[in-house]
Amino acid sequence: MMTSEEIRQKFLKFFEKRGHTVIPSASLVPSEEIGAVTSSQTLFTTAGMQPLIPYLLGKPHPAGTRLVDAQKCVRTGDIDDVGDNRHLTFFEMLGNWSLGDYFKREAISWSFEFLTSKNEGLGLDPQRFYVTVFKGEQGIPRDNESIKIWQEIFAQHGLSNEVAADDEIVRNNVRIIPLGVNDNFWIAGATGPCGGDTEMFYDTRPGDGNIEGKFSDFVDSFRLIEVWNDVFMEFNKTVDGHYEKLSAKNVDTGMGLERTTAVVNGVSTVFETDCFVPILDGIRTHATIANEKSERIIADHMRAAVFMIADGITPSNTDRGYILRRILRRAIRHADSISMTRDLGTIAEIIQKKYGAAYPEIMGNDRGASIRKIIHEEEQKFRTTLKEGMKEYEKRKKDWVGVPNEPLPADSNKTLPISGRAVQKILGKTIFDLFQTYGFPIELTEELAKEEGAVIDREGFDQLVREHQNLSRTGADKKFKGGLGDTSEMSIKYHTATHLLNAALQQVLGPHVGQKGSNITPERLRFDFSNPEKLSDAQKKKVENLVNEWIAAALPVTVAEMPKAEAEKIAIHAFNEKYGDTVRVYSIGHTGNYISREFCGGPHVANTSQLGHFTILKEEAVSAGIRRIKAVLTA
């Protein structure tokens, strides 16, 4: 068996010997420069070439023109598919690069040499390789140069060097298959450096007989597994869709470490490699129920979470923080489903020990403990939501309705119902109630439904969210009560945050605190309050922490209209507002345990989980006895 560590080191040393400088992995958080160059900003580093885009476009790299690395990557489009034989969120991409230096001949020759060399490489059987090349489309010519190089290489090994026809049918052991732009033309996003590529596939089941037939059929059946991709970057795709010639021809290669480790060791899935075996063993040691899919989900998601947190991402309700929170909460639910007896920090520690030597940023006494602390806190916060929400989810099954012609989710584990039976659908009201009252994410409701062969009424849920927002806005007349300058989505979030801030100040400083004014824009909140002295750093931190705890607790935000006299007994008043006989009271929290109850015209979010992370920017004096806080919500 060849371990993933050995493969990673062999790869780096192979290309270092051939003049390449080993460069460290870039962060999972793409730099602003990447977004500026590509006219888009992805949430994560999704490919090995992404951090090098400026250099592929011509900027000189400080390490030279030949580079090699192992790059951390995260792709989130397939989160719901993780748990099968092949989908991952986090993975490592091995790559070597030529920035205007060598081109197709060296790149292809070295690729094949590393894959097949028994001394310096992986020692794979040359007779089990098939390759694809770009056949030419969209005004870009066929890659005859790559075809010729492959013909020479295969002839040297006594193999057929015939080229398949445009029908993409493999006949008479043809090994070179030209494919179109959808298969053999690579670009990281909508714009940026790009070019035709050649991909190398390995026959994992030669005992099944000759490969004869449609090439894609053998790929779809996982008999032929792609192990390497050489991209020849000759173009830059502009925002208007044109392909411009780059000033220098570049090579961008990529080989997924997990997949390659599986191929080299003759196992059918990446979960059977050392990339995952120690993690899965740790999960199974602390679980009382065996479930392969849940074990894989936990292992994959915890790997991704550890590396995300190491690169500065923290759980929140927007952008990267939302993805991190989602995968952590998905891991927590699956850990509960197999009755794990230890928290997920135990699994994080296994991952840190496994990958710490190659990626020291996830290790170290302080850093390693900090990562586990963030995971532990998120786990503790979500368990209350999960416990109560799951009880309500089970209770509300009686409200599901049968829909005769509704299709099942494509990846449901259930079979289609027999003729005449209806697929069960969870109505939008049920989903909204779970979300508002318990902070139950819609993705979790959808996943639970999918496991039971049911579907969700997403349109109904979205409509109820809109109705809640519109109802909340009704009280915000042209004067935008509560200090709002508008009723944009961010201003509404900030408005709810001011209620949490007010409650936190009263809890930290005392009941003498009263609101003396506020000003809310889509960029920040400003909140004036009564207090005789400046807040200490410890007090500000405590206020911040309380607000963020309440946000993470996913507390419902509800509104009720009631007689003013009744409302005065339960809710606080704005400092100088005149009220009618009937008022609106917004409450944050659960019945009998409200964090905040205030007279307010609205608008507000439905649940605190929508807010993001709360940070105090400044605390200052306004006048004698009046202080002012400026704060922001971030991802």
What pLDDT, in 10s, does the model give residues 359-371?
A: 999 987 688 999 9
What count of Cα atoms within 13 Å lies in the side-chain half-sphere of residue 395?
Answer: 9
Distance between CA atoms of residues 567 and 557, nearest Å: 17
Average pLDDT over residues 239-256: 88
Rg (alpha carbons) of the chain, rounded to whole number: 29
Q: What share of the chain is helix, strand, coil (3-state, %, to 5)?
A: 40, 25, 35
Looking at the domain assignment, is residue 387 inside a domain?
A: no
Q: Which residue has the higher pLDDT, 39 or 329?
A: 329
Distance between CA atoms of residues 83 and 221, nearest Å: 18
Looking at the predicted structure, is the pLDDT value of residue 539 above 90?
yes
Q: Report which residue type is found at 632.
A: V
Domain-terminating residue out of 233, 249, 272: 272
Distance between CA atoms of residues 513 and 266, nearest Å: 68
The predicted structure's pLDDT at residue 421: 55
Looking at the predicted structure, is the pLDDT value of residue 37 above 70?
no
Looking at the predicted structure, is the pLDDT value of residue 544 above 90?
yes
pTM of the model: 0.74
The predicted structure's pLDDT at residue 485: 66
Q: Which residue has the higher pLDDT, 77 or 321?
A: 321
| 230/136 same-domain check | yes
| 605/468 same-domain check | no
Distance of CA 218 to the CA centre of its chain: 30
Query: What domain count does the chain have?
Result: 4
Give the domain range for residue 430: 400-474
Average pLDDT over residues 92-102: 96
Looking at the predicted structure, is the pLDDT value of residue 104 above 80?
yes
Looking at the predicted structure, is the pLDDT value of residue 145 above 90?
yes
User: How far from 218 is each of 87, 197, 209, 254, CA to CA, in Å?
Assistant: 18, 20, 12, 21
Confidence of residue 576 (pLDDT cuts 50, 70, 90): low
Dump pLDDT digits (tens) for 374-422: 999 999 888 877 888 888 888 888 888 887 666 655 444 444 444 445 6
Looking at the domain assignment, is residue 395 inside a domain?
A: no
| 268/341 same-domain check | no
| 317/464 same-domain check | no
Dump pLDDT digits (tens) for 493-538: 999 999 999 999 999 998 888 888 889 988 899 999 999 899 999 9
The predicted structure's pLDDT at residue 292: 95
| 249/363 same-domain check | no
Average pLDDT over residues 105-131: 96
Task: Name, in order, each residue with C-beta under 8 angstroms of 382's C-beta and a sequence gap of 6 or more.
Answer: 328, 329, 332
Looking at the domain assignment, is residue 393 inside a domain?
A: no
Looking at the domain assignment, is residue 285 inside a domain?
A: yes
Average pLDDT over residues 461-483: 64
The predicted structure's pLDDT at residue 271: 96
Distance between CA atoms of residues 630 and 632, nearest Å: 7
3-state per-residue secondary structure call for 527-558? EEEECCCCCCHHHHHHHHHHHHHHHHCCCEEE
The predicted structure's pLDDT at residue 416: 43
Looking at the domain assignment, is residue 392 inside a domain?
A: no
The predicted structure's pLDDT at residue 418: 40
| 286/165 same-domain check | no
Distance between CA atoms of residues 352 and 356, nearest Å: 5
The predicted structure's pLDDT at residue 130: 96
| 207/63 same-domain check | yes
Looking at the domain assignment, is residue 484 inside a domain?
A: no
Looking at the domain assignment, is residue 479 inside a domain?
A: no
Ranking 172-176, 321-325, 402-406, 631-635 by mean pLDDT, the lowest is 402-406
In angstroms, the first-to-last Cα distance of the chain is: 43
The predicted structure's pLDDT at residue 414: 47
Domain-terminating residue out of 272, 306, 323: 272
Distance of CA 26 to the CA centre of its chain: 17
Q: Are 270 and 59 in contact (CB under 8 A)?
A: no
Distance of CA 421 to the CA centre of its chain: 37
Distance between CA atoms of residues 425 and 422, nearest Å: 9
The predicted structure's pLDDT at residue 472: 58
DSSP string, 52-89: GHHHHTTPPPTT-SEEEEEEEEE--TTGGGTTSSS--S
| 433/312 same-domain check | no
CATH number of the domain within which 250 lies: 3.30.930.10
Distance between CA atoms of residues 495 and 475, nearest Å: 13
The predicted structure's pLDDT at residue 131: 97
User: How far from 485 is each of 201, 469, 495, CA to CA, in Å?
Assistant: 59, 17, 10
CATH number of the domain within which 620 lies: 3.30.980.10
Q: Report which residue type is found at 135.
A: K
Beta-carbon count within 10 A of 564 CB: 14
| 341/221 same-domain check | no
Domain-terminating residue out of 252, 272, 292: 272
Burial 503-523 (b: 16+ CB within 10 A, else e): bbbbebbeeebbbbebbbeee
Average pLDDT over residues 51-74: 93
The predicted structure's pLDDT at residue 36: 61
Average pLDDT over residues 120-125: 96
Distance between CA atoms of residues 210 and 170, nearest Å: 10
Distance between CA atoms of residues 175 and 112, nearest Å: 14
| 595/526 same-domain check | yes
Confidence of residue 625 (pLDDT cuts 50, 70, 90): confident
| 373/409 same-domain check | no
Instruction: Work out the mean pLDDT of the chain and round it to a whole number.
Output: 88
Distance between CA atoms of residues 204 and 210, nearest Å: 12
Looking at the predicted structure, is the pLDDT value of residue 476 above 80?
no
Looking at the domain assignment, is residue 34 inside a domain?
A: yes
| 543/599 same-domain check | yes
Quickly list H helices, 39-193.
53-56, 104-116, 144-156, 181-184
